[in-house]
């Protein structure tokens, strides 16, 4: 993705009612976020000097400002996210060893942990094949929907 494409994205966003637009191409992800018109917010004069000068200058001209955030390359590996709300367990029972240890090789479809909800033990399977790079939740902690549980490196 080159500068021209990013400029096009900004121009595209300007003509819509959308707040942001995100484009992913291979490893590169670009997110263009529309900033609310700064002149609309009544900011105290003293703090104005501390705000980003470029934005302040644009605000003075009454222009709409945008921020282009290009996130750093995500950590290597893919993340297994919790499909439900519940309690995270690494082992099938308190006296049993964990399903997987860090560094272990896992196959697609292999059970890697449990999220307990309503006394039901929901076995969470890896969607990827690879090596367990990190366990992102402490055993016994509550997890939200979509919360990353483990990172698997290819």
Partner 1 sequence: MFTKILVANRGEIAIRVIRACKELGIRTVAICSEIDRDALHVLFADERVVVGPADNALSYRNILNIVSAAAVTGAEAIHPGYGFLAENARFAEICESCGIKFIGPHHTTIAKMGDKATAKAIMAAGGVPVIPGSEGLLPDDEDQVAKIAEQVGYPLMVKASAGGGGRGMRVVLSAEQLLDAVNAARKEAAAAFGNDGVYVERYFPDARHVEVQVIADHHGNVVHLGERDCSVQRRNQKLIEESPSPALPKATRARMTEAAVTAARTVGYRNAGTVEFLLAPNKSFYFIEMNTRIQVEHPVTEMVTGLDLIREQIRIAAGERLSFAQRDVHFRGHAIECRINAEDPKTFMPSPGIIAWYHPPGGPGVRVDSAAYTNYAVPPQYDSMIAKVIVHADTRDEAIARMTRALEEIVLDGIKTSVPLHLEIMEDPVFRRGKYTTRYLEDFLARKRGREARSERRPRKPAKRPRARSAGKGD
Positions touching partner 1 (CB under 8 A) are 17, 19, 34, 36-37, 40-41, 84-87, 117-118, 142, 144-147
- Closer to partner 1 by Cβ: residue 40 or 76: 40
Pairing of strands 20-25, 111-117: unpaired
Nearest distance in Å: CB 133, partner 1: 23
Nearest distance in Å: CB 153, partner 1: 25
- Closer to partner 1 by Cβ: residue 104 or 121: 121
Could you tell me the strand order of the sheet in which 130-135 lies?
78-81, 148-153, 130-135, 105-106
Nearest distance in Å: CB 126, partner 1: 21
Pairing of strands 148-153, 142-143: unpaired
**Phi/psi at 148 (nearest 5 deg)?**
-65, 130
Nearest distance in Å: CB 85, partner 1: 4
- Closer to partner 1 by Cβ: residue 75 or 141: 141
- Specify whether the CB–CB gap between 67 and 140 falls below 8 A: no
């Amino acid at each position: 993705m080159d500068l021209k494409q990013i400029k096009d994205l900004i121009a595209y966003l300007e003509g819509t009612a959308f707040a942001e637009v995100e484009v992913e191409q291979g490893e590169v992800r670009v997110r263009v976020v529309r900033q609310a018109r700064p002149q609309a917010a009544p900011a105290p004069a003293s703090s104005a000097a501390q705000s980003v000068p470029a934005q302040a200058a644009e605000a003075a001209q009454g222009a709409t400002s945008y921020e282009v955030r290009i996130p750093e390359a995500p950590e290597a590996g893919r993340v297994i996210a919790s499909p439900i709300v519940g309690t995270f367990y690494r082992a099938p029972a308190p006296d049993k060893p964990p399903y997987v240890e860090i560094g272990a090789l896992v196959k697609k479809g292999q059970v890697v942990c449990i999220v307990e909800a309503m006394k039901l033990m929901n076995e969470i399977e890896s969607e990827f094949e690879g090596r367990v790079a990190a366990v992102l939740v402490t055993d016994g902690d509550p997890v939200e929907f979509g919360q990353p549980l483990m990172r698997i490196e290819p």
